[in-house]
Amino acid sequence: MALHLETPLLESRPLSLATGRSVWLKMDALQPPGSFKIRGIGAACEHHVRNGKRRFVSSSGGNAGIAVAYAGRRLSVPVSVFVPETTTERAKSLIRQEGAEVFVHGASWQDANERALAAVDAETAFIHPFDDPILWAGHATIIDEVVRAGLSLDAVVLSVGGGGLLSGVAEGLARNGLQDIPIIAAETEGTGSLAASIKAGKLVELPSVSGIATSLGARKVCERAFEIARTRPVESVVVDDRSALEACTRFLDDHRVVVEPACGAALAVAYSHFDRLAQHQRVLIVVCGGATSPVSQLQAWQAS
């Protein structure tokens, strides 16, 4: 049995009314570890166990680490997760809750990733949070499920951190004959590494990342994500932290589900940037996760 669940596909009446479009939600915030990450990470962990690995090491801004920890517990494999100093206490607590070790290192995910790689030995599998073809194939199941449900769509809205979800959704669209469907890729102003690369016409690394959407905090997207942005219909949207946060609170009112600002970036396209949907009639939003930002944290950000 796969480590991920087939998640609900819901029509959003509030967002459909707000945008004048038919908006559908793929509710991956309801995965057991709280985000879409378990789709690809679960597949990778199972692959490495079949090939004799006895320990998992990963680096994460939050959600990937929770997913690896969950997979390790389910597969009875010990896990160590390296996170940057920006990772919330909530995220670290959820990783530990699954029985994994947490090590804090560096100011950014890149710093934590370098330290994680140094901890790998012959019996250890390194589980990358976003740059791995096994992960992309796992994340592509989001689109497989949507197609099986019979939904025809003409755009997909998703958030971009390191680009794993973008890479997976693009693969899912391609393997279902939907490679011409546009992907609207949302980032926050402090994490817009894909937008910066598209503007520069080459893969670039941000000098730093900032803001509340810490789950999007990769200074550079993976090469595959940038390649997709250059060769497929990908539209970049950058929203500010306030829009992402307001989208989280409105979504909680509208759908009774807590999501984090990283997910709020995608939802903000529909809530406050719906002009970007003007060319599309039936839109899918990947509601990617919310484990790392409880209501109390959303309220604290609102008050600040």
pLDDT band at 247 (very low <50, low <70, confident <90, very high): very high
pLDDT band at 244 (very low <50, low <70, confident <90, very high): very high
Which whole number is the average pLDDT over 14-37? 96
- Nearest residue to 248 (alpha-carbon basis) of 215, 222, 281: 215
Share of the chain above pLDDT 70, in %: 100
Burial tier of 216 (Cβ tally within 10 Å: 0-12, 13-18, 19+): buried
Alpha-carbon distances, residue 238 vs 36, 63, 94 (angstroms): 21, 21, 29
Question: Whole-number mean pLDDT of the chain?
Answer: 94
Give the helix/strand (H/E) hosting 301. Answer: helix 295-303
Which whole number is the average pLDDT over 244-256? 96
pLDDT exceeds cutoff 80 at 243 = yes
Report whether CATH 3.40.50.1100 matches the domain 9-35+134-303.
yes
The answer to whether 235 and 272 have CB atoms below 8 angstroms apart is no
**Residue bearing the bigger pLDDT, 140 or 302:** 140
User: What are phi and psi for residue 112, nearest 5 degrees?
Assistant: -65, -35
What is 37-129's CATH number, 3.40.1350.10, 3.40.50.2030, 3.30.70.20, 3.40.50.1100? 3.40.50.1100
Q: How far apart are CA 96 and CA 249, in angstroms?
A: 27
pLDDT band at 208 (very low <50, low <70, confident <90, very high): confident
pLDDT at 211 (0 to 100): 86
pLDDT exceeds cutoff 90 at 212 = no
Burial tier of 111 (Cβ tally within 10 Å: 0-12, 13-18, 19+): middle
Q: By mean pLDDT, which of 15-24, 199-208, 262-271 is the weakest? A: 199-208
pLDDT at 171 (0 to 100): 98
pLDDT exceeds cutoff 90 at 191 = no
**Residue bearing the bigger pLDDT, 186 or 214:** 186
Where exactly are the structural domains of the chain? Answer: 9-35+134-303, 37-129
- 9-35+134-303 and 37-129 in the same fold: yes
Q: How far apart are CA 176 and CA 131, in angstroms?
A: 22
pLDDT exceeds cutoff 80 at 168 = yes
pLDDT at 214 (0 to 100): 79
pLDDT band at 45 (very low <50, low <70, confident <90, very high): very high
Residues 6+ apart with CB under 8 A from 89: none
pLDDT band at 109 (very low <50, low <70, confident <90, very high): confident
The 10s digit of each residue's pLDDT in 265-284 is: 999 999 999 899 999 999 99
- Nearest residue to 62 (alpha-carbon basis) of 194, 214, 260: 214
